[in-house]
Amino acid sequence: MTSNPVAPLSLPGKTVVFDYGEVISRTPADSVRDRLLALAGATDIDAFWASYGRHRHALDGGSLSVVDYWRTLASENGLDLSITRIHELWAIDFPAWIDPEPGTVDVIAALHEGGTPLAILSNAGFDYASPLRFSPVGSLFDHVYVSAEMYDLKPNASIYRTVLDELGIEPSAMVFIDNKAENIEGAQELGITGHVFTSPAGLESFLRGLAAPAPSV
């Protein structure tokens, strides 16, 4: 049995809340984007990706289903997408957003080993609820919050307040990790400690800084 490469990490009195996409998972590879374009038959690349991004908030906020999301992209880009083709596109896009970043998983495992309470707060559609909860890394988390299920989105103050209320903690007891600065700023406005994720090494350094005892005076 191999031990976790990152030493146990304990943050007494704190709950660490993680975003998922591009924090616990990697940024989707360019090859994924190429496969989506080819399968969709999109010729105006810029217009396709503009549609892809523009409607993601509605998908993640629970107001647009996965099928309607792809149908909206098809309508805006003059594409003819059958339900079969939509499922094929989804089957390429979906796993690309859960491809793990091993270094971050190591840090999460270290926090878990150290007894630090953990939660996920992800802007994600309903379809991500199961893997975020029941994947191997999901087993390390005490709570998982998926924005579509909450009909809310980061960086709205309301979504952080809901998480704080459900965790039963004050803002000062929450540490939030996200790759988007605007989401961290939204949390910090409520008094939550935040860290903009750029790398697993930077994340570990930040968390160990929080765990270090204050210098004596």
Q: Where are the domains of the chain?
A: 15-27+98-211, 30-96
* Mean pLDDT of the chain, nearest integer: 96
Distance CA 193, CA 155 (A): 14
**Phi/psi of residue 120, nearest 5 degrees:** -110, 135
- Over residues 161-169, the mean pLDDT reads 98
Residues 16-47: tens digit of each pLDDT: 999 999 999 999 999 999 999 999 999 999 99
- Over residues 154-160, the mean pLDDT reads 98
For the record, the structure tokens of 49 come out as 């990706």
Given a cut of 50, whether residue 58 has pLDDT beyond it is yes
CATH 3.40.50.1000 applies to domain 15-27+98-211: yes
Distance CA 202, CA 27 (A): 17
Sign, CA torsion 46/52/57/58: positive
Q: At what angle do helices 83-96 and 30-40 cross, to 10 degrees?
A: 180
Compute how many other C-beta atoms are within 10 angstroms of the C-beta atom of residue 111: 25
Q: Are 178 and 19 in contact (CB under 8 A)?
A: yes
Q: What pLDDT, on the 0 to 100 scale, is given for residue 214?
A: 55
Q: What pLDDT, on the 0 to 100 scale, is given for residue 83?
A: 98
Given a cut of 70, whether residue 194 has pLDDT beyond it is yes
Q: For 102, what's the count of Cα atoms within 13 Å in the CB-facing half-sphere?
A: 2
- Over residues 116-135, the mean pLDDT reads 97
CA angle 105, 126, 77 (to 5 degrees): 105
The pTM assigned to this predicted structure is 0.94
Given a cut of 60, whether residue 190 has pLDDT beyond it is yes
Indicate the pLDDT class of residue 132, thresholds 50, 70 and 90: very high
Q: Which residue intervals of the chain are DSSP H helices?
A: 30-40, 45-54, 56-60, 66-77, 83-96, 102-113, 129-134, 147-150, 157-167, 181-188, 200-211
**Phi/psi of residue 7, nearest 5 degrees:** -65, 150
Query: In 3D, which of 23, 15, 30, 5 has the Cα closest to residue 160?
Result: 15
Residues 77-90: tens digit of each pLDDT: 999 999 999 999 99
